[in-house]
Amino acid sequence: MSQPRFIPGHEVPARPRDSALLFAAHGLDLLVEEREKAVRIPTCAELPELATGAHFLGTLGEVDCYAADFPKGISPPEGLKLIPARSLYGRVDETLFGVAGRALSIAEWDITHRFCGRDGQPTVLVPGERARRCPVCHTPYYPRISPAVIVLVTRGDSMLLGRNARFPGVMFSTLAGFVDIGESLEETVVREVKEEVGVDIKNLRYFGSQPWPFGRSLMLGFTAEYAGGDIHVDGQEISEAGWFTPDNLPPIPPRLSIARQLIDSFIAQVKARNPPA
């Protein structure tokens, strides 16, 4: 059975909201009903106070979707609970998971831009677009998207993976970092690799992208080849790094991430080059 298609939108449709899905977010948590292994997103009819000021996200199949901030200090209605939105992966289909991520970002933007950062005046919603605007100085505020790069550096049949110093456990992943003002994406990749592990790269190629609501970012993936230098971790972002082959991998990220897509793609290339005898 195919997944329903999501069509994004921001203009509120002229139809009742009662049966629409309401993604109520509190930070990176989402309000849901858990039924054994299944997860259900509540409807606007179940959360009428939140539904009134909710933001239209688009339609999932034939179902409208809205997003709203779930206020701090309020207990969830009976039968509903806040859970980390990231934990929805594997429990709902990928399309619904993507809509949930979109909802997190929209709810966060709405609650953090209620007042103008220039003169402190309450902002108002702008008709016809996803924006809030100051009625005094007319400064617009759009949902924030922070560009970040992520890269898999390879050397022959080996890949360079690092362990982030801030992450719990022993998971290793590809190298990543946010784009600085005035940098191109390519310059960011070169700088981040040099800063984090001390090596130089060459043959940088674009791989793909992924919206990542858990950091309010857009991840732009690249591959690159090792060009020289010894591994020296910075000790702040990366606590440990090394070269790994497909047959000798440490714990790696789950399949929802572009980091895993980069790793899996390289593993497939290595296996294609080295078919079993």
- 97-111, 162-176, 205-219 — which one is most confidently predicted on average? 97-111
pLDDT of residue 168: 67
Share of the chain above pLDDT 90, in %: 74
Three-state DSSP string of 227-238 = EECCCCCCCCCE
Predicted TM-score (pTM) of the model is 0.84
Look at residue 100 and tell me whether its pLDDT is greater than 90.
Answer: yes
pLDDT of residue 212: 84
Helix (H), strand (E) at residue 224: strand 217-228
Distance from C-alpha of 200 to C-alpha of 202, rounded to nearest angstrom: 7
Look at residue 36 and tell me whether its pLDDT is greater than 80.
Answer: no
CATH of 146-272, one of 3.90.79.10, 3.30.43.10, 3.40.630.30, 1.10.10.10: 3.90.79.10
Distance from C-alpha of 16 to C-alpha of 21, rounded to nearest angstrom: 12
Closest CA to 162 of 223, 235, 247: 235
Look at residue 2 and tell me whether its pLDDT is greater than 80.
Answer: no
Identify residue 245 by its one-letter amino acid code.
Answer: T
Average confidence (pLDDT) over 236-247: 93
Look at residue 132 and tell me whether its pLDDT is greater than 90.
Answer: yes
CATH class of 6-112: alpha beta
Looking at the chain, the domain(s) classified CATH 3.90.79.10 span 146-272
Counting beta carbons within 10 angstroms of the beta carbon of residue 256, is it exposed (0 to 12), middle (13 to 18) or buried (19 or more)? Answer: middle
